[in-house]
């Protein structure tokens, strides 16, 4: 994720907002009578009824911005917006697809004239924690407490997988709706493994032994997205939590002193750094971006690559025939690990927001309610080849092999599912922060102890900065 320019710092954002009188508090309203937008500004009004529980103004414009990146915007134009128009035929949808969300919208947030619904994603993402701390986002509690699109007797929140609502909570309220459910782990070519008789490892000892066999076959055991070192943070923290328990991750999220120096974290860092020392990483990986590293993996130059379950879709145009992409959880560092070998990280992602100063915020909430319906979620999966946070929405959908493999991995994990929040809460701590230190570690330029010291310094920087709002879980 590219760092947003310094103009978008909290102090400058706040100064600009105060100068224009644009800064207001987000609020939520009761689901009865007239519904008004956050901050007490009656920018839109609608009558809340059984058929319209969020009080959507039925003849107003809904201005939408969709990040035009890996998912494109067809899921919006072909699935969700037709559903909205069918229910509210007199409403107008102003659809915009944008690559650089911050470039297109940061001045509008400051001026107090944001759109009604934003897919705040991509390298030009406006930092979510920044928006929350500057009171720029609408409280989504009404959305999650509203009757679901499919069953008026079931609340929206009760149709979602565990952790979906919590993934967008800052403090004591949800401000971000995450739609995609990403399963993280290691990916390999099952066809290649079957040809060589290789078995996927469940322990790190088995992994290193297999890496030796793979190297003898003339294939690099691992590659990773070198210049985007966060990809290696994912297996590092997952394996650490498997070894030491999920409280390892909670301590990191809560900025506890010494959290990055936990023995489980250090052991995981040692294991991954050892791949480079053992010659198990594809030559040149350190300088590769995600396209180059994943491309080399697709070409069969490396056996394993860490990534989220979007990988199959991202590689679709370059994956050769006969390449059967498959998912596996990261191996256990010890047989005495606190969690099961099947444990995976699965996280709700792809953020959607309703600005506090939107002219039609109730329309924005309703658009989210549509997205979180069975039809809306199924359409999303079919269009972008991603699982969603809506329970059962992918049932009966013919998924690609890789995504099916990830779904099976998630089902096998049961309740042993991990997540962490610091990249969402503290963007700069993650990037360039932690990522830069992990990049140096994986390149062999610093030791594990130096990596720990660097990560601890990044956490301390946030912990001691009074201008940054802190969150805990």
Tally of CA atoms within 13 A in the half-sphere of 312 that contains its CB = 27
Q: What is the CATH number of the domain that holds 298?
A: 3.40.190.10
Identify the pLDDT of residue 17: 36
SS3 content of the chain, % helix, strand, coil (to 5): 45, 15, 40
Same domain, 47 and 195: no
First CA to last CA distance, the chain: 24
| Judgement on whether residues 168 and 192 belong to the same structural domain of the protein | no
- Mean pLDDT by runs of 10 across the 473 residues of the chain is 32 34 32 38 66 96 95 96 98 98 97 98 92 96 98 97 92 96 97 98 98 98 97 98 98 98 98 98 98 97 96 92 97 97 96 98 98 98 93 92 94 92 93 97 98 98 96 92
- In the prediction, which pLDDT does 63 show? 98
Is residue 403 situated within a structural domain?
no
Looking at residue 44, its pLDDT comes to: 53
Within-domain flag for 415: no
Rounded (5°) CA angle 80-163-50:
45
Rounded-to-integer distance, Cα 54 and Cα 63, Å:
17
Q: Which whole-number Å values give the CA distances from 171 to 163, 262, 473, in the listed order?
A: 15, 26, 9
At 267, is the secondary structure helix, strand, or coil?
A: helix
Which residue in the block uniquely carries the two structure tokens 């994990």?
Answer: 413
pLDDT at 43: 45
Tokens found for residue 343: 């444990």
How far, CA to CA in Å, does 60 sit from each of 31, 47, 419? 19, 13, 38
328 and 236 in a common domain: yes
**243 and 157 in a common domain:** no
One domain, residues 44 and 63: yes
Q: Is 113 contained in some domain?
A: yes
- Residue 245, C-beta contacts closer than 8 angstroms, at least 6 positions apart: 264, 338, 339
User: Are 304 and 268 in a shared domain?
Assistant: yes
Is 407 inside any structural domain? no
Residue 282 lies in a domain: yes
Q: What is the pLDDT of residue 35?
A: 42
pTM of the predicted protein model:
0.82
Same domain, 188 and 153: no
The structural domain count of the chain equals 2
Q: Give the per-residue pLDDT at 457.
A: 98
Q: How far apart are CA 11 and CA 100, in angstroms?
A: 22
Cα–Cα distance list, 249 to 29, 230, 295, 401, 421 (Å): 35, 15, 31, 31, 9
The token pair at 82 is: 């037709």
- 334 and 366 together in one domain: no
3-state secondary structure of 411: helix
Same domain, 206 and 105: no
Q: Are 218 and 315 within one domain?
A: yes
Q: Are residues 303 and 450 in the same domain?
A: yes
Q: What residues make up the domain containing 31?
A: 6-174+354-394
Q: What is the pLDDT of residue 313?
A: 85
């Amino acid at each position: 994720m590219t760092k947003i320019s310094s103009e978008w710092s909290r102090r400058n954002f706040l100064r600009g907002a105060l100068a224009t009188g644009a800064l207001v508090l987000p609020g939520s309203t009761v689901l009865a009578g007239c519904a008004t937008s956050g901050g007490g500004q009656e920018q839109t009004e609608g009558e809340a009824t059984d058929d319209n529980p969020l009080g959507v103004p039925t003849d107003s414009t809904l201005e939408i911005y969709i990040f035009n990146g890996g998912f494109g915007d067809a899921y919006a134009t072909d699935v969700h917006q037709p559903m909205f128009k069918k229910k509210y035929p007199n409403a107008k949808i102003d659809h915009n697809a944008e690559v650089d969300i911050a470039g297109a919208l940061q001045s509008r947030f400051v001026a107090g004239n944001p759109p009604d619904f934003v897919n705040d994603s991509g390298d030009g993402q406006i930092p979510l924690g920044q928006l929350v701390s500057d009171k720029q986002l609408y409280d989504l509690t009404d959305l999650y407490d509203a009757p679901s699109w499919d069953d008026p007797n079931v609340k929206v929140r009760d149709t979602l997988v565990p952790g979906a609502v919590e993934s967008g909570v800052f403090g004591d309220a949800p401000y971000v709706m995450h739609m995609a459910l990403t399963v993280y782990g290691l990916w390999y070519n099952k066809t290649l493994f079957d040809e060589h008789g290789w078995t996927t490892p469940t322990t790190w000892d088995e992994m290193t032994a297999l890496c030796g066999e793979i190297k003898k076959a003339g294939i690099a055991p691992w590659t990773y997205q070198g210049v985007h070192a966060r990809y290696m943070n994912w297996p590092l923290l997952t394996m650490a939590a498997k070894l030491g328990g999920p409280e390892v991750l909670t301590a990191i999220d809560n900025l506890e002193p010494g959290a990055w120096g936990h023995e489980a974290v250090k052991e995981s860092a040692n294991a991954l750094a050892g791949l480079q020392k053992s010659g198990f990483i594809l030559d040149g990986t350190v300088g590769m971006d995600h396209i180059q590293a994943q491309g080399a993996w697709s070409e069969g130059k490396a056996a394993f690559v860490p990534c989220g379950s979007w990988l199959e879709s991202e590689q679709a145009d370059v994956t050769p025939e006969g390449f059967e992409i498959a998912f596996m959880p990261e191996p256990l560092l010890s047989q005495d690990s606190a969690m099961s070998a099947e444990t995976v990280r699965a996280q709700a992602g792809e953020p959607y927001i309703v600005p506090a100063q939107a002219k039609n915020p109730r329309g924005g909430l309703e658009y989210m309610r549509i997205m979180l319906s069975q039809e809306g979620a199924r359409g999303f999966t079919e269009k972008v080849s991603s699982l969603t946070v809506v329970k059962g929405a992918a049932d009966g959908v013919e998924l690609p092999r890789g995504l099916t493999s990830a779904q099976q991995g998630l089902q096998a994990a049961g309740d042993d599912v991990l997540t962490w929040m610091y990249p969402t809460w503290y963007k700069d701590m993650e990037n360039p922060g932690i990522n830069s230190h992990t990049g140096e570690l994986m390149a062999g330029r610093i030791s594990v102890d130096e990596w720990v010291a660097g990560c601890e310094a990044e956490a301390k920087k946030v912990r001691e900065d009074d201008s940054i709002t802190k969150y805990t879980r």
